Amino acid sequence: MFLAITIDLEPNIARLGPFLITWHGVFAVLGILGAARLGLWLGEKDGIDPRRASDGVVWMVVVGLIGARLLYVWENWQLFSSNPLRMFALTEGGISQWGGLFGAMVGAYIWAYRSKTSLRKLFDGGGPAAMIGLAIGRIGDVINGEHHGTPTTAPWGVQYVNPDTLGEPGKVVHPEVAYEMLLTLGLLALLLPFHQRLKGKLPDGVLGLLYFGLYALGRFFLSFYRTDPSVFLGMRQAQIASLLMVAAAVILIPLLLYRARRASEARDEEPAGRA
């Protein structure tokens, strides 16, 4: 194997009293900040006041973190059953990416309802924002090795050797979280340069669903390179969540396009009807 990368990075930065500061936590926070910045910028272009939308970001972050932690705890209950209070030790890592995304969507819905803001416009800005947030956050995952990849027979792989690593020392595995990072960056490179042009041609909500649907499709297949336990029909939790997101996109995108076409036809027929 001529592209085996050895990672000997200390995953922990410092301990401040009871709090453990890790690279995972640092990049998770940076990912949230990056997502918020891009989302607010795109939302402003779509007519959403960034000062008001900052309140929505708080809802999405808080509910997203709750969802991310709850789904991780549910999936890994054996790690918390002897000491349930460990579920509050967020700085030690351990969050579910899909739990965070679905939680953020719930937070967006709550804020959109309270503020009478278009949820579909929030999705359009939230799609690319989520991609940049995930890309940044995955840097921390690459460092700490928390998400175990399957053994690789490809010409490339990654090996964790640090004594404090959360990876599996001695094994050369697929860098699956790095694959996910490339997936999110690839989607941004493909769609973000044309964001405003696509917004002008597509109904509100479609562009955001495209981001989430394409990411979910890629994530479903990439999850085969993870050693996560199967939870239903041989599928991992992330794969089930990915299929739910793909199904939502496949159903909602044609529906939104159909409704937009019908509304356009109705507007075109209106003058003739009045005459």
Q: CA-to-CA distance for 242 and 216, rounded, in angstroms? A: 5
With left for phi above 0 and alpha for psi between -120 and 50, is residue 233 left, alpha or beta?
Answer: left
For residue 51, what are its two tokens? 């000062």
What percent of the chain lies above the pLDDT cut of 90?
Answer: 52
Q: CA-to-CA distance for 252 and 229, rounded, in angstroms? A: 30
pLDDT score of 275 more than 50: no
Q: CA-to-CA distance for 234 and 134, rounded, in angstroms? A: 26
The band of 51, judged by pLDDT with boundaries at 50, 70 and 90, is: confident
Amino acid at 15: R
Query: What pLDDT does residue 223 have?
Result: 93
Q: What digits encode the pLDDT tens for the residues 106-133?
A: 999 999 999 999 999 999 999 999 999 9
* CA 57, chain centre distance (Å): 15
Q: CA-to-CA distance for 185 and 199, rounded, in angstroms? A: 20
3-state secondary structure (DSSP) of residue 233 = coil
Please name which of 219, 225, 100 lies closest in space to residue 152, comparing C-alpha atoms. 225
